[in-house]
Amino acid sequence: MMANDMEHDAAAQVEEAAETEPQADLLAPLVAERDELKDRVLRTLAEMENLRRRTEREVADARTYAVTNFARDMLNAADNIRRALESVPEAERNEATGAFKALIDGIELTERDLGKTLERHGVKAIEPKGQRFDPNRHQAMFEVPDTEVPSGTVVQVMQSGYVIGDRTLRPALVGVAKGGPKPAAPPADAA
């Protein structure tokens, strides 16, 4: 009887193994599909996060640089106002009275107001005189022989430059020193 029980147990194990193999065969494709879908979901989430970040960056850039073309056009008006003020000799400007004095004061007020308005919208003037020439912010118009300042230093400004955000709206037209001592090298970090 014992041999019979052993045969029965062995047959049951074979039957059980036969039943689990088809289940394992059915389960393998489902596990693979699940893993593929999980990978797709994770990739889609990563793409959506990247899209969100890129959209935020583009919106911030649009806010900052939306007025670029308008600001560039307004710089022409600012230049004309500056030229109008510079066309009046300093001596006559100081001695002006009456309507002429009021006209000069009005033009100066308009220039200051235009400058403040441009600054409120992120447009800032570049003050390059005395700075090292930067081809990203300045446009060299001529070189000036000057041994008093280091070569490559801006010594004269022909036309003001402007930036909007971190971009150059219009480079400053400058005269650059030539022939002076070499500029000092920036100090090297000890670390």
Show me where the domains of the chain are located. 11-66, 67-121, 123-183
Cα 59 to chain centroid, rounded: 12
Beta bridge partners of 176: 143, 154
CATH code of the domain made up of 123-183 = 2.30.22.10
Is residue 2 scored above 60 in pLDDT?
no
Is residue 188 scored above 90 in pLDDT?
no
**Segment 52-72, tens digit of pLDDT:** 999 999 998 888 888 888 898
Residues 137-157 have a mean pLDDT of: 90
Is residue 6 scored above 70 in pLDDT?
no
Q: Are the beta carbons of 172 and 132 closer than 8 angstroms?
A: no
Q: Are the beta carbons of 172 and 159 closer than 8 angstroms?
A: yes
CB atoms within 10 A of CB 133: 19
- Which of the two residues, 108 and 11, has the higher pLDDT score? 108
Residues 117-130 have a mean pLDDT of: 91
**What confidence score (pLDDT) does residue 62 get?**
86
